[in-house]
Amino acid sequence: MTAATGKSTEAPASKKSGFRPDVQGLRAIAVLLVVLYHAGVSRLSGGYVGVDVFFVISGFLITTHLLEMLQTHGRIRFGSFYAKRARRILPASLLVGLLTVVAAWIWMPPLLMNEVARGAVAAALYVPNMLFASQETNYLAETSPSVFQHYWSLGIEEQFYLFWPAILALGFWLGRRSEKRLLIMAAVLTAGSFALCVAWMGVSQPWTFFSLPTRAWELGAGALVAFLMRTGAPWLRRVGIGLLSWVGLGLLLGVGLLYQEETPFPGYTAALPVIATALLIIGGAAPGALNANRLLSLRPFQFVGAISYSLYLVHWPLLVIPQVAVGEENPLPLWSTLALGALAVPVAWLLFRFVERPVIAWSPLRTRSQLWTGVSALAASAVLIAAGSGAHLATEQEDTTTDKTASAEEVTEEPEGTDFVPANLTPTLEDADDDNPAIYDNDCHRDKEGTDSSGCQIGDNEDAPLVFLFGDSHAASWYPALEELAKDGKIRLDTNTKSSCYSANVQEELEGVPYTDCDQWRQGVIDRINEEQPELVLMANYGAERIDRVGGTDDFGADWQQSMESTISAIDGPQVDVIADVPHQDVTPAVCLSKDLESADECAIPRAEAFDPAVVEAEKAATEDTDARYLDFSDYLCNEEECPMIIGNFLVYRDGHHLTAHYSRELTEPLWEELSSALD
């Protein structure tokens, strides 16, 4: 890159930007939206847009700084820029990360430390957003959210800071040091990122939410505001322009109140908080008393705005770790989450006062070579990686069973649960998550992508009746029991299961987009059933109101019944049996059990809470109306009072709503007793 010999004739003769109290106050609004939303204030159902406000502010401030550097020096001093960013961002984030690992090691169940370690490593490597995108992070999953989940936005900003200075420097050089040409390039890139964001929402919501290319436009919008403010356009200095800040403030608060978790986001819906923030920044720079500066400059807003970065860092682990410690089955009341959110304020002030500001001003780093800052940052990141990995290794050495054994009891109705975690538990708590049916390994269980409905058959007895298994992963949970029957020559089994895809004719969304692959797969299986005419079709599904449906009514039970009847009616000829769903718990059994090995009964779910009455009645009604049969094995999983997680020496569930392969196999005889009557 060639250094400039003089200032561009097209560069605006603007003064260097100074501190803006209104932007500081805007930071306060952004972080308060996020903290109150995470604390569970239902009225602020769209409080998550506070992160988008931060993106726009960051894009505005960083671009303003970089443009001033280009104007003054004709080039970007990369070493100086990155050293300042490192001193500004990393000390607080890495220290909070380290303290989070320690707190998690003390208070969280040991089986969760693997996820804590992954989050710590991703945060130390500045790629937490990529980790959560690859995991298809779902905020409504039954498992506890990562204590590092809020670091995803830091990942976006850090990656933006990595690329944006080089892009501006290259554009400045290619555009012959013209800021106007540089503006055009920035506008094109921002528009391209926005278009990608909207388009990719139809492919994968998690990747759209967490990846830089689909979120860069929000920082780019702030960058465009920076370009605009540097033009010195006369209309920007009109008193009436100050009203834009009130419009932006009203729009931002409206979004915070009206957006829901169900609102497709980001996509085009993210444009409203971004536009609102841009209006606030533009209007706040206008002269006169018509803007919102007097409000945003109030001392409470200035205080919260100053500590906003530290507050964002500390509030999430303060909310998540206590909830995990008491168990997801015991939701903290609103008063306690608000108290934890309030506690985050003085903690954030301490972090701001004794870490954030001192490191920025620390002369040994400011006056020495920028290499020292880089080395310090790498060393601090290495410490966080070591801490996360060390805590995980330490918890792996902890016992996850008692020293007592349990007898291998025969499967009976009304089972009494084992009230401790036995030494001979099968599978172990560590192996529970991977205790899947064999069809997960041989590709007979279809994943979310694809429409292959060819199925897989097992069973060597050509005279045995043909049975089709049809449904989602809950249907696949019955495969181990059916596999035993096929090996014994009692049936020939044709498996037709697909992740998150119901045999019930439900129009659903997956990762925020219509799950059209499921519709094609389902119809393909039905066509093959009608062609091959098996003796029996077994349907099993995860019926729950949390299904992301396209259309439908507010009466999920009625919709589910209609969806079941639609599929059963489309099957022409074979007998259809519907297997009732297994108990559902809002916790991960292995994690719950690992917290107190002597009190396994504390993790059992009350039978009254284990099943959705609307779903049960809908499936019963659907089978009655279509002459299908309803097979209910709940009495083999629950007694009159509760549904235990350990029966004999067997762990019953691998997660909150799937049987372990081992326990499914134990249900072979009860299943055959029901099937044999239909196959005789």
Of all residues in the chain, the percent with pLDDT exceeding 90 is: 77
Confidence check: pLDDT of 338 > 80: yes
pLDDT of residue 8: 37
Q: How is residue 237 annotated by DSSP?
A: G
H helix intervals, 397-515: 473-476, 479-487
pLDDT of residue 330: 84
pLDDT of residue 137: 61
8 Å CB contact between 96 and 318? no
The C-alpha angle with vertex 308 and arms to 306 and 312, in degrees rounded to 5, equals 160
The more confidently predicted of residues 146 and 586 is: 146
Task: Output the DSSP codes for 382-409.
Answer: HHHHHHHHHHHHHHHTS--S-S-----P
8 Å CB contact between 110 and 116? no
| Mean pLDDT to the nearest integer, 423-442 | 93
Confidence check: pLDDT of 551 > 50: yes
Distance between CA atoms of 520 and 361, rounded to whole angstroms? 61
**Closest Cα to residue 578, out of 458, 470, 466?**
470
Confidence check: pLDDT of 140 > 50: no
Q: Report the number of secondary-structure helices (H) and strands (E) in the chain.
A: 27, 13
Q: Is 176 exposed, middle or buried (0-12, 13-18, 19+ CB in 10 A)?
A: exposed
Confidence check: pLDDT of 9 > 50: no
Assign 531 a pLDDT band (cuts: 50, 70, 90). Answer: very high
Confidence check: pLDDT of 349 > 70: yes
Q: Is 463 exposed, middle or buried (0-12, 13-18, 19+ CB in 10 A)?
A: exposed
Computed over its alpha carbons, how large is the radius of gyration of the chain? 29
The answer to whether the bond into 266 is cis (omega within 30° of 0) is yes
Q: Give Cα separations from 512 to 201, 244, 499 (angstroms).
A: 7, 33, 16
Confidence check: pLDDT of 129 > 50: yes
Confidence check: pLDDT of 6 > 50: no
**Could you report the per-residue pLDDT of 161-209, keeping only the tens digit for each?**
999 999 999 999 998 889 999 999 999 999 999 999 999 998 888 999 9
Strand partners, 537: 468, 576
8 Å CB contact between 465 and 679? yes
pLDDT of residue 14: 41
**Closest Cα to residue 66, out of 171, 155, 153, 159?**
171
**Residues 6 or more apart whose Cβ sits within 8 Å of residue 489:** 459, 460, 461, 464
Three-state DSSP at 365 gives helix
Buried b (16+ CB within 10 A) or exposed e, 280-300: bbbbbbbeeebbbbeebbeee
| Mean pLDDT to the nearest integer, 32-61 | 97
Q: Give Cα separations from 33 to 47, 74, 155, 349 (angstroms).
A: 5, 39, 20, 18
| Average pLDDT over all residues of the chain | 91
Task: Output the DSSP codes for 31-44.
Answer: HHHHHHHHTT-GGG
**Structural domains of the chain sorted by starting position, each given as residue range(s) with its CATH number in brackets:** 21-395 (no CATH), 437-585+611-633+668-679 (3.40.50.2300)
Distance between CA atoms of 56 and 281, rounded to whole angstroms? 9
Task: Output the DSSP codes for 63-120.
Answer: HHHHHHHHHHHSS--HHHHHHHHHHHHHHHHHHHHHHHHHHHHHHS-GGGHHHHHHHH
The more confidently predicted of residues 202 and 636 is: 636
Task: Output the DSSP codes for 504-524.
Answer: S---BEETTEE-HHHHHHHHH
Distance between CA atoms of 650 and 634, rounded to whole angstroms? 16
Tokens 């100053």 belong to residue: 306
| Mean pLDDT to the nearest integer, 439-453 | 90
Confidence check: pLDDT of 449 > 90: no
Tokens 């964001």 belong to residue: 197
Three-state DSSP at 651 gives strand
Confidence check: pLDDT of 496 > 50: yes
pTM: 0.89
Least confident span in 24-38, 352-366, 516-530, 554-568: 352-366
pLDDT of residue 369: 66
H helix intervals, 426-511: 473-476, 479-487
Cα dihedral: 555, 560, 565, 570 (round 10) = 120
The C-alpha angle with vertex 59 and arms to 53 and 65, in degrees rounded to 5, equals 135
H helix intervals, 584-646: 589-595, 607-610, 613-626
| Mean pLDDT to the nearest integer, 55-72 | 95
Assign 143 a pLDDT band (cuts: 50, 70, 90). Answer: low
The more confidently predicted of residues 206 and 137 is: 206
Three-state DSSP at 276 gives helix
Q: How is residue 417 annotated by DSSP?
A: B
Gap between the terminal Cα atoms of the chain: 83
**Residues 6 or more apart whose Cβ sits within 8 Å of residue 642:** 417, 601, 604, 605, 606, 607
**Closest Cα to residue 88, out of 362, 356, 307, 368?**
356
Confidence check: pLDDT of 119 > 60: yes
Tokens 């059963």 belong to residue: 568
**Could you report the per-residue pLDDT of 198-249, keeping only the tens digit for each?**
999 988 889 999 999 999 999 999 999 999 999 989 999 999 999 999 999 9
Assign 366 a pLDDT band (cuts: 50, 70, 90). Answer: low
